[in-house]
Amino acid sequence: MVNRSIQPGFTLPVSLQIPEPQELIVGNGKKVLWLNIGTQSIVRITLQFPAGSKYQKKLLQASSTLGLMPEGTKNFSAQQVAEKLDFLGSQIDYSIDRDHAVISVFCLNKYVDQTLEVLKDIVLYPKFDGQEFETFRNKRKSSLAIEKAKVMYQAREVATAAMFGKNHPYGAYAEVGDYSLLEVDDLKAFHQERFLACGGLLFVSGLVDEVLVAKVAEELLPVVRRSDVEVPLLSFDALPKPEQIYIEKDDAVQSAVRLNRTLFARNHPDYVGMHVLTTILGGYFGSRLMSNIREDKGYTYGIFSSVVPMQESGFLTIATEVGCNVTLPTIVEIKREMDRLRSEKVGVEELSLVVNYMVGEMLRMLDGPFSIVDVILDLYQSGLPVSFINEHFAKITSITSEELHLLAQKYLNPADFIEVVVGKR
């Protein structure tokens, strides 16, 4: 009989290795990545384009281009695209951020040809029909208006703009009226420049071999880019100084609170250490901010801190929603927890708990073949080798309280943070 009153023992893994993708050279020097992984007869085809919002000439141009691409192509209407994929049991996902636009399709091996036919049309031959654009624009206007009414959404936008500048590609955000300034020709131009002319990183994974990868590459060859190295585009020399911003909403029941400061991309030597430090501060349920502001004070249901990396920069964010009557006390407590980390070293027991938690999260993140592919794509997007995941793991498991103390003194000075409140003080 198992004695269930005794907790099972556990040991941390010594290292964390993920498979290295193979390369296939096609079309006069173009590189395609592929990885035979998993046990099910499923194929994933991913195209990662340098087509994020930092490249757009008009607000909403990048996201609208990606959003309208499946809404009618040269050979299929929007309804036919949806029905054909549904019949095949295939799925296409679209995502976009400041740096990249990503299109991923999942399908059974036996339906690769039929699915690829639809994917190729979406990527190479979107119609950008004027009537579809009007329908799309009206829907997006309504959705954005709903989001803009939320205090947390407003606080996120305002805090990001305050860090980088409203006119900086990493700080810009759109208003509902900006959709009215957008024309269908703007979408056609962005697609031509950022998708067709630049091309993207093609990554084929799942239960695949070189023959299947070559077939996929042949069909998508016009948008497979020759180089996977992206030149830095942005300047960060004249960023705004930290300030306190208060946006009043008379009907607010809760206030959204954000404290942000600029940091760096994943390739910075302090990135992993700051990942650990922000986890201690507010990155898991037992964190200091949760213990103080939720469990002890009862000011909020949840509060978190995290390091947000982007391709060319990054930032640290602390965010919560609290009752209007405890908005200022919450900010006081957040700053108190930052000062504690700056003045006192993290104890051995707390550090061990957080390291174990973070290792568990890394293992969960790598649970499954396509989860591993997501991690690899994320690394390539940041310009990092696959070996970085093991370096990240080694740094987390070996970091000391002294190192964290130095990082806290360097990066957790409350005076360096943008402070945003949307709601009522």
Q: What's 40's domain CATH number?
A: 3.30.830.10
Instruction: Examine the domain organization and report whether 43 and 91 are in the same domain.
Output: yes
Q: Is residue 228 part of a domain?
A: no
Length, in residues, of the chain: 425
The single-letter code of the amino acid at 406 is: L
Domain boundaries, position 59: 22-223
Q: Is residue 256 part of a domain?
A: yes
**CB of 232 closer than 8 Å to CB of 312:** yes
Instruction: Examine the domain organization and report whether 60 and 206 are in the same domain.
Output: yes
Q: Is residue 236 part of a domain?
A: no
One DSSP character per residue, 191-206 reads IIIIIIIT-BEEEEEE
Question: Strands (DSSP E) along 180-302, which ranges?
Answer: 201-206, 244-248, 254-262
Tell me, what's the pLDDT at 247? 96
**CB of 301 closer than 8 Å to CB of 351:** no
Q: Is residue 394 part of a domain?
A: yes
Place 8 in a pLDDT band, splitting at 50, 70 and 90.
confident
Q: Return d(Cα 304, Cα 339) in angstroms, integer.
A: 17
Instruction: Examine the domain organization and report whether 55 and 173 are in the same domain.
Output: yes
Instruction: Examine the domain organization and report whether 202 and 249 are in the same domain.
Output: no
Q: Is residue 198 part of a domain?
A: yes
Looking at the structure of the chain, the number of domains it has is 2
Q: Is residue 193 part of a domain?
A: yes
Q: Is residue 282 part of a domain?
A: yes
Contacts of 296 (CB under 8 A, 6+ apart): none
Instruction: Examine the domain organization and report whether 38 and 121 are in the same domain.
Output: yes
pLDDT at 425 over 80: no
pLDDT at 228 over 70: no
pLDDT, mean over the chain: 95
Buried b (16+ CB within 10 A) or exposed e, 31-64: bbbbbbbbeeebbbbbbbbbbbbbbbebbbbbbb
Distances (CA, A) of 295 to 256, 285, 286, 288, 292: 19, 10, 9, 10, 6
Query: In the chain, helix, strand, coil percent, each to 5?
Result: 50, 20, 35
Q: Is residue 15 part of a domain?
A: no
Instruction: Examine the domain organization and report whether 208 and 292 are in the same domain.
Output: no
pLDDT at 113 over 80: yes
pLDDT at 231 over 80: no
